Amino acid sequence: MSTLARAPESPPSIVVIGGGITGLTAAYRLQSLAREHAFPLAVRLLESSDRLGGKIRTARVDAFTVEEGPDIFLARKPAGVNLCRELGLEGRLRPTNPDHRGSLILRDGELFPLPEGLSAMIPTRLKPFLRSPLLSPWGKIRMGADWLLPARSGEADESVASFFSRRLGRELYEKIVDPLLGGLYGGSGDVLSLKATFPHLRALEREHGSLLRGLLARRGATRQSGGAFVTLEGGMEELTATLERTLTGVRVTTGAPVRSLSPRASGFSVVTDHDRYEADAVLLATPAYVSGALVAPFDDALARDLGSIRYGSTVTLSLAYRLRDVPRPLDAYGYIIPRSEGRPVLACTWSSTKIPGRAPEGMALLRVFLGRSDDYETAGRPDHALLALAREELRATLGITAEPLFHHLRRWERAMPLYTLGHPERLARIAGRLSAHPGLFLAGAAFHGVGIPDCIRDGETKAGGAFAFVRALAASTHAS
Ligand SMILES: Cc1cc2nc3c(=O)[nH]c(=O)nc-3n(C[C@H](O)[C@H](O)[C@H](O)COP(=O)(O)OP(=O)(O)OC[C@H]3O[C@@H](n4cnc5c(N)ncnc54)[C@H](O)[C@@H]3O)c2cc1C
């Protein structure tokens, strides 16, 4: 094992651990800040697997572009689009298909359109809900009761399921909100914290006395800000591959799982299988359970809080067909399946409709999501069993009986952090514990948002914090 201790004359150093979108963005931002301020800084990025990108993985199969993880990101949260611009990727951004917007939802084995006007799960129009066949007359009356029900007082958190059921009724929650939550947060609303996921909806209730009144009042603002999703021409991996190429001032090592992290009199020692690095600051951009295990030897309370962030698992299985073998027109982004339908599949994205260019002319690319966050049994089945489940789903709902041209499977074990009840308090405790470890920073999907723009923003913010920390350290060392 070689010891790369920092000699007094060598520049301040920061080690970023984890090369997903968060760690890549953090490393990139550190490189930019160092250049901008002409500040000599050694930045190192350590990634355990043999590739960078983390959950972002795009495969090319024949002339198909297959997303194994994320396929789009929200343009309304500016960090994602801004980073693409900065990297010269603006011309590569593509909106989702404007001609077949919207998703369908399965009810009693039949597909119905989701009520229009939903933007990232927030209803922005009421009439489509009132007209939707997805809700019974009683469900609609119960939804309207929100207008009259008093707002809940107090600051206490509640589950997403409790909030929507309380305001708009259990039926609307179960038939529309819960299935959508699976796609956004990978978990059931019964365990998700409202404060951590949709704090603005609680604010609307408090401000306007009713959720519906609040949504109507902000309708103009919502329409203006839009809710469009975008992707990159070559797939989401174009973003991480470009970041990787741009990191010319960062020493990047893949195949280097960090095994231990220990605080020193000043800074930290970071140990991989083959090397030891001394760093003035460390930015952990690993899943919370990995970060928790790394801090456990020196901060049990911090480790416990990080380790208590639950993760959901899922499987994505993409299947390619000739369009003529698909009896139903693929005229939407796909469909979601409420848990009440009792199926092991939670959603099917019609990738070739949602994102033009993902499949060659005359072909269809479908992506099936298997295994809900609380259904570990399904996600753990062997490949052939998952393929059989997916094909049965496509037969039952879309009438597809043909053999797929190919299928492409990716298992995502403990991949989606769940912001369960108590998440905001947990984050506050984590922030409190970090103040005992100057130079240690935590970023990533586990904290302030699971979407790509959230991860990018968190990576940038924490990189800014780490940079300010080492600059101040350098200034104080110089002065003394
Ligand atoms: C199936 C799926 C679909 C999704 N769809 C969307 C979508 O459409 N839009 C959207 O905005 N978001 C989506 N998300 C969420 C989004 O992709 C993730 O939240 C985000 O990519 C997480 O990035 P990250 O860098 O924080 O974590 P990761 O991507 O998990 O990166 C962490 C990195 O740390 C590395 N690592 C782990 N342990 C160690 C160690 N000991 N030493 C060194 N390195 C280590 C890992 O190998 C990994 O590369 C989806 C997620 C999944 C799983």
pTM of the model: 0.94
Atom of ligand 1 nearest to the CA of 53: 49
User: Would the CB of 290 count as within 6 Å of ligand 1?
Assistant: yes
User: What distance in Å separates the CA atoms of residue 238 and residue 65, rounded to the nearest whole number?
Assistant: 12
* Residue span of the structural domain in which 474 resides: 2-54+238-309+419-479
User: Would the CB of 19 count as within 6 Å of ligand 1?
Assistant: yes
Closest listed residue to residue 57, CA positions, set 241, 182, 183: 241
CATH number at residue 137: 1.10.3110.10
User: What distance in Å separates the CA atoms of residue 145 and residue 157, rounded to the nearest whole number?
Assistant: 22
Residue 456 shares a structural domain with residue 390? no
pLDDT higher than threshold 90 for residue 252 = yes
Residue 32 shares a structural domain with residue 151? no
What are the residues facing 284 on neighbouring strands?
A: 17, 442
Mean pLDDT confidence for 16-34: 98
Interval 431-474: pLDDT, tens: 999 999 999 999 999 999 999 999 999 999 999 999 999 999 99
Instruction: Give the mutation target among 55, 73, 96 for probing the ligand 1 site: most ligand atoms within 8 A of CB.
Output: 55
Atom of ligand 1 nearest to the CA of 455: 26
User: Would the CB of 49 count as within 6 Å of ligand 1?
Assistant: yes
Contact between 175 and 338 (Cβ < 8 Å): yes
Q: 8: pLDDT confidence band, cut at 50, 70 and 90? A: low
Residue 322 shares a structural domain with residue 413? yes
Outline where 283-350 has alpha helix (H).
288-295, 300-307
Interval 203-213: pLDDT, tens: 989 999 998 88
User: What distance in Å separates the CA atoms of residue 320 and residue 149, rounded to the nearest whole number?
Assistant: 49
User: Would the CB of 73 count as within 6 Å of ligand 1?
Assistant: yes
Element (H, E) at 251: strand 250-253
CATH number at residue 322: 3.90.660.20
Q: Considering its fold, how many domains does the chain have in total?
A: 3
Interval 338-350: pLDDT, tens: 988 889 999 999 9
Residue 370 shares a structural domain with residue 396? yes
Q: Specify the DSSP class assigned to residue 66.
A: E
Q: Is residue 110 part of a domain?
A: no
Instruction: Give the mutation target among 17, 286, 291, 414 for probing the ligand 1 site: most ligand atoms within 8 A of CB.
Output: 286
Interval 352-406: pLDDT, tens: 999 999 999 999 999 999 988 777 788 889 999 999 999 999 999 999 999 999 9
* Ligand 1 centroid from CA 240, angstroms: 11
Residue 430 shares a structural domain with residue 407? no
- State the pairing for strand pair 334-336/268-271: unpaired
Residues contacting residue 50 through CB under 8 Å, at least 6 positions apart: 254, 255
Residue 330 shares a structural domain with residue 392? yes
